[in-house]
Amino acid sequence: MSDYQVVNPATGEVEQEFPTATDAEVQEAVERAHTAYASWRTTTQDERAAILLRVADLYEERADELARIIAREMGKPLKEGKGEIALVASIYRYYATEGPGLLADTPLSPKMGGDAVVRKEPVGPLLGIMPWNFPYYQVARFAAPNLMVGNTIILKHAPQCPESALAIEQLFADAGLPSGAYVNVFATNDQSTDVIADPRVVGVSVTGSERAGSAVAEVAGRHLKKVVLELGGSDAFILLDTEDLGAAVKAAVRGRMGNAGQACNGAKRMIVVDDLYDDFVTAFTGAMAGLTPGDPLEDGVDFGPLSSEQAVVNLVEQIDDAVAKGATVLTGGKRVDRTGAFMEATVLADVTPDMRAFSEELFGPAAVVYRVADAEAAIALANDSSFGLGGVVYSADTAQAQEVADRLDTGMVWINTAQGSAADLPFGGTKRSGVGRELGPYGIDEFVNKKLIYTPAAR
């Protein structure tokens, strides 16, 4: 049985299998990327940009087909899938249009005289190890800036996303990307370790779990390879005060339930000041209880199944652990009694530090609500986490919101709006949420050689 399968989480059926790469095929993938780099790095920025613009067009032209693929692979409703694809297209367009400026020489003014510039140059073939929860978007965050730089890509996608992985590779080929500049490979974890160690590969980017990031970073460090790690999160949604409680509740639900709660930067911990807590929890719990999962291939679905049977098992175990230790289930808490990996939208209260739900990431449609006395207590609770990806601060007092944002130990903070993502805004975290940045002007700087070129003053 191959590791790479399409197992429809709405039905539990294995719809298609793809052979895992042999060692020889993995080596061939590395060699193709290595060979292509020699010529791809010499293409002009205009040539690269033209291909990325065509990639963006093809994503939009094929949106229906691509959305249906991931609905079957990991359960994303069609509307959300098309939204992901629209974001992906914007990422390729951003780096195509802004890339030349972002890669322009940076002049320096050396005190010893003369002229100096820092020139951004490509570094070589890169390995990307990508997850299943945003099959197109995660790849775009990594591939778009690095192809614009002139690096080449070897891509190991999640084993449950083989069809989307092949669709991405085909899309690049159809856009005119030279053979070998982007290579998909259905590798095992052990084979990926060998790729990282290969001297032809200069860096690796991982989006995934803490465990995966730690394992990759260990191998990369041993071989002196640069890494970018985008890992888990347990983002806080802090509600201090508001002139529109309904809007805040709507944002909290949206932040928690996007992709059936399977987003690293989803709002997982609702931290609410005492005088708003009861009203917020009543409204939030009611809104969550009103959501029902459905077939991701049908229109009007509130949210789809979790990505797999194991994902349901993991989430139920976390919830059961909390309940056994005294937590209160305000709504949901169980898997749905139907075929497929469906889970009820869940709200937990009275969660304490001895429970797994306090410290672990809840990767699914489950939120935890906390009552706090004031902003100081909200900051302390929000920072009491090993994660530091993002967070949300709601307050009618924008100065207070900014002050709280400054004190959160996270890579991103969103004020008076649900978390999101945009091509021109950097994405990344601190602590166990990873290292490095993707998207925006910082995303193109991770895998470049910032070469100093100095010319002394004429004598």
* Residue positions annotated with a catalytic role: 230, 264
Our CA angle for 371, 377, 383, nearest 5°, is: 105
Distance CA(245)–CA(209), nearest Å, equals: 34
Q: HEC profile for 229-282?
A: EECCCCEEEEECCCCCHHHHHHHHHHHHHHHHHCCCCCEEEEEEEHHHHHHHHH
- Give burial (CB, 10 Å; 0-12/13-18/19+) of 158: buried
Distance CA(142)–CA(77), nearest Å, equals: 24
Helices within 103-239 (DSSP H only) = 137-149, 162-174, 189-197, 210-222
H/E stretch holding 287 reads helix 274-289
What are the tokens at 184? 């998909």
b/e map 83-109, b = 16+ CB within 10 Å: bbbebbbbbbbbbbebbeebbeeeeee
